[in-house]
Structure 1
């Protein structure tokens, strides 16, 4: 049965475009984190150069919280607060990072803050102390904490709104009673796809690693590339504890360590596996994760 109204067709098309655009943007947080880590490494590189060190390494940068980065160095060095302030200011401004941030220089052995300053552009005030006082050579690391703008929260509300728009789109299609052939064409039938690749059983789920999706009954649950890689490691050793270090190898090729990335992906996978009560994705505190499958509950 064809669409009866050009207006409904245009509305449906626009909703598809908006929903597709938001889907592509849903993983922007990982891209932003990776970009910011590169900026942090460049800041560390320039700090070493300013101290006369052009050969030792900036160690992998840790993202220790939603808004904090930890820059570590291979060798000891000395610094003047003036150069630290200037280098970080330039790096933040040129990279269009949040304009409000606090910097602490931490002495490694005693884990004490030996120097710090704050730049608070939104409050039109900076707190920069002890400029011009050269610090002795030692093992230091730098922690930079950003204050995120409220614009970041708007994207979440917008995403929820788009979900409502997608629901409206589904209601339009249901109301127009599009025939089963049109539904199968737009929905890419699961049976034909399922037969093209091997899957791993996880309770009542079928996991297609190469095609990046889970199949639960007639429902298809899409997975990102990294979600598939993490789930592949867990699903290969069901009912067995997998250490965090083994799961974090998924990020090794990128040369960065993002502290909460693994926890975020585990949380996403746990939601996508919640339909089957026989399957639980468990966190063993301080050790790792495991997929626990209770065969007696499998339907």
Structure 2
């Protein structure tokens, strides 16, 4: 049984009220701060364990300002850069803290930054120097600073509000459709198809839109030939996955004849156009095919 337009409008109004109340209801600052402090202590604990220290304490976590925390330790320690990067990233991701942040290790005696890195997920960017190095034993302070107004700060109240608002809009438009149907005779009309939006694929620092025959790197547009464009479209849609040679050779199906070395030649051309980002590699997997890999 179909709902009457009046009932749909009443339901929509109730959902709009729910959306407004949910969005205006603030998350408890005390609760959020307490949760973040616990996460900071957990990070400090994991850093101590990774340095081989299972007995000394993580001292009280300090909140420097609304977006910065300081972790300090009871004793001097040594640390490996790769280990602390992994520990901090996993803790922040697992606890849904803001995705953009900067980490600095400060020598408490000299008050100088001896190591740091940045994760800027909303910009698809990371700055992680000095990988694989071990820092000497010292009394370190760890400063973790989150970007102000990061999208990661949205809480469940906003999600509920947005969902209710969307449901309200659906009901409103449904009601309008029913109302029109009551006053107009039916007709066999075909609605025009909505335009399809092709999503951009990120390949390291490159942008690739499967609707356009070029790569973008910052402000530069790198032109692709027809075959390069078709090959990259297949490889980009299967990023970090091996694509069989036979699937890639289908690019030449319209030509009727596949030259044995044609695929390898165009793969070589693509490599040159992707060589401005060392994190992107186009790998030949012997006996199988090729894999477009990003790290």
Same structural fold, with TM-score higher than 0.5 when normalized by the shorter chain: no
Larger gyration radius, structure 1 or structure 2: 2
Question: TM (normalized to structure 2)?
Answer: 0.44
